[in-house]
Amino acid sequence: MILYSRPDDPAAHGIRLVLAEKAVSVKVVEVQPDSPPEDLLHLNPYGTVPTLVSREVTLYDPRIIAEYLDERYPHPPLLPADPVQRARTRLFISEIGESWYELCDEVSNGAGRGRTRARRELTEAVVSSNELFAAGTYLLNAEYGLADCVAAPVLWRLPYLGVQLPREARAVKSYMQRIFRRPNFARSLVVAERAMAEG
């Protein structure tokens, strides 16, 4: 199994986190944004990361990759068994992908006022989710799950992106401390990501 990944991409980090939770070995190929390898462009017409090559299938949508891994390696399960909770988790993951991930990209690659606006909007989006983080030990479920794998990579990058959470985000900060202490979270990090928490 091969995963094409980038250390600045939270979606790719999320997939590495799923793989760590499942204890699945994978060859990680780090991709440079300006010069993607030819084999990636052959496998994925968009040249995007994450891209997972597994047996006879190549996947390059992070949500599909995550659910594929959860189904192929069912222990521990990362999606809830209850259909309502599973639907809520999928909705949350979709919202994170369309909001938090895009804002991370704008802060990382933007400039001037656009970058400042994206940083402010990302801060507001995380703070507005404080009650969700206060509801339990993990997101949307009594057990660690896919929602945690999706949210944690963004939260890890906040210092690197220049985002300082205010006092009212107390539950988010507490959640971050719990999640970042998990051994599998540490295993999911590549070298360049380890320095991100220092800002």
CATH number, domain containing residue 53: 3.40.30.10
Residue 54 forms part of a structural domain: yes
Residue 150: CATH number of its domain: 1.20.1050.10
Task: Confirm whether 192 is domain-assigned.
Answer: no
DSSP-assigned beta bridge partners for residue 59 = 52
* Token code pair at residue 103: 């804002």
Same domain, 20 and 110: no
As for how many domains the chain has, the answer is 2
The verdict on 176 and 89 lying in the same domain is: yes
| pTM (2 d.p.) | 0.95
Within a domain: 137:
yes
In this structure, the answer to whether residues 42 and 93 fall within a common structural domain is no
In a domain, 28, yes or no: yes
Structural domain of residue 91, as residue ranges? 83-182
Specify if 33 maps to a domain: yes
State whether 54 and 90 are in the same domain.
no
Please say whether the beta carbons of 100 and 150 come within 8 A. no
The per-residue pLDDT string of the chain (199 residues; one tens digit each, 9 = 90 and over) reads 999 999 999 999 999 999 999 999 999 999 988 888 999 989 999 999 999 999 889 999 999 999 999 999 999 999 999 999 999 999 999 999 899 999 999 999 988 999 999 999 999 999 999 999 999 999 998 999 999 999 999 999 999 999 999 999 999 999 999 999 999 999 999 999 998 877 6
The verdict on residue 198 lying in a domain is no
Tell me whether residue 27 is in a domain.
yes
Q: How far is CA 120 from the centre of its chain?
A: 20
- Determine if residue 112 is left, alpha or beta; phi over 0 gives left, psi from -120 to 50 gives alpha, anything else beta: left
Q: What are the CA-CA distances from residue 7 to residues 4, 99, 141 (Å)?
A: 10, 19, 28
